[in-house]
Amino acid sequence: MKVRKIAILFSGNGSNLESLIRCLHKKYFKRLGEFSLKDSQARGFLIGGIESEFVETDKEDKEAFGVEVVLALSNKANAYGLERAKNLGVKTQVLESVKFARREDFDRELVGILKQYSLDLCVLAGFMRILTPIFTQAVQAVNIHPSLLPLFKGANGIKESFESQMKLGGVSVHWVSDELDSGEIIAQGVVEKDKDLENYESKIHKLEHYLYPLAVLEALKKV
């Protein structure tokens, strides 16, 4: 049985980091069949792009594969997510981006660290860096963005989505490419907009915590 190794990169609070670890770390999964919308609809989400329904099983199941989060790395030494990861038994590391004059130098050091772990997938979870081709062409990675891409790219996706005339908002999980928030979309989730930005942001985060583990399992099928 193969154990898929993933690393999670983050910069701050780490709520998506914690959700991913709790849902995936040191667990075993097998494909049950086609993805069912019943659970997501019950939560008020509309999900697209997820093809397979995975169920948790045990390592004795011959059809199963395991997932291990081998590293949680932050570019900020004061990121609260470091405590979250440590409390959940995941190895942490800090690579401070402020100590590098050039993005390329930081990315080169980062790639060197990640290559030591023979990863199947790198998962970006609030990693607030614009990555150069030194990273994007060397590491197979996915990212989550709080809008329905290709709309509202960049750091203000939630606010811009909220202020738009659209009645719906959502979240996208995509492959990381050379261009910011522009890689092939793996999955998207949709929620109704809210009159209050704080409530809308809360909806988006709940959707992220639901969708991202599903999308990571979907991505692992293809690596």
Is the pLDDT at 195 greater than 90, yes or no?
no
Is the pLDDT at 1 greater than 80, yes or no?
no
CATH class of 3-220: alpha beta
Active-site residues: which are they? 145
Tokens 């038994």 sit on residue: 89
Is the pLDDT at 16 greater than 80, yes or no?
yes
pTM of the model: 0.95
Known binding-site residue numbers: 14-16, 103, 128-131, 143
Is the pLDDT at 37 greater than 90, yes or no?
no
In the three-class reduction of DSSP (H, G, I as helix; E, B as strand; rest coil), residue 48 is classed as strand
Query: What six digits make up the tokens of 54?
Result: 């995975």
How far is it, in rounded angstroms, from Cα 158 to Cα 155? 8
Q: Is 189 exposed, middle or buried (0-12, 13-18, 19+ CB in 10 A)?
A: buried
Known binding-site residue numbers for (6R)-10-formyltetrahydrofolate: 103, 128-131, 143
Contacts of 74 (CB under 8 A, 6+ apart): 9, 10, 11, 81, 82, 92, 93, 94, 95
Provide the pLDDT for residue 88.
Answer: 98
Taking 3-state DSSP, the helix, strand and coil percentages for the chain, each rounded to the nearest 5, stand at: 35, 30, 40
How far is it, in rounded angstroms, from Cα 109 to Cα 104? 9
Provide the pLDDT for residue 38.
Answer: 86
Handedness of CA 32, 36, 42, 44 (dihedral sign): positive
Q: Which of 32-46, 57-71, 190-204 has the lowest mean pLDDT?
A: 32-46
Q: What is the mean pLDDT of the chain?
A: 96
Condensed to tens digits (0 to 9), the pLDDT of residues 73-131 reads 999 999 999 999 999 999 999 999 999 999 999 999 999 999 999 999 999 999 999 99
In the chain, % of residues over pLDDT 70: 100
Provide the pLDDT for residue 36.
Answer: 87
Query: What six digits make up the tokens of 157?
Result: 């996706």
What is the mean pLDDT of the segment spanning 9-27?
98
How far is it, in rounded angstroms, from Cα 177 to Cα 184? 8
Provide the pLDDT for residue 44.
Answer: 87
> For the chain, what are the domain ranges?
3-220
Q: How far apart are the first and last CA of the chain?
A: 16
Provide the pLDDT for residue 133.
Answer: 98
Contact 149, 174 (CB under 8 A): yes
Residue 217 backbone phi and psi in degrees, to 5: -60, -40
How far is it, in rounded angstroms, from Cα 207 to Cα 223? 24
How far is it, in rounded angstroms, from Cα 176 to Cα 133? 10
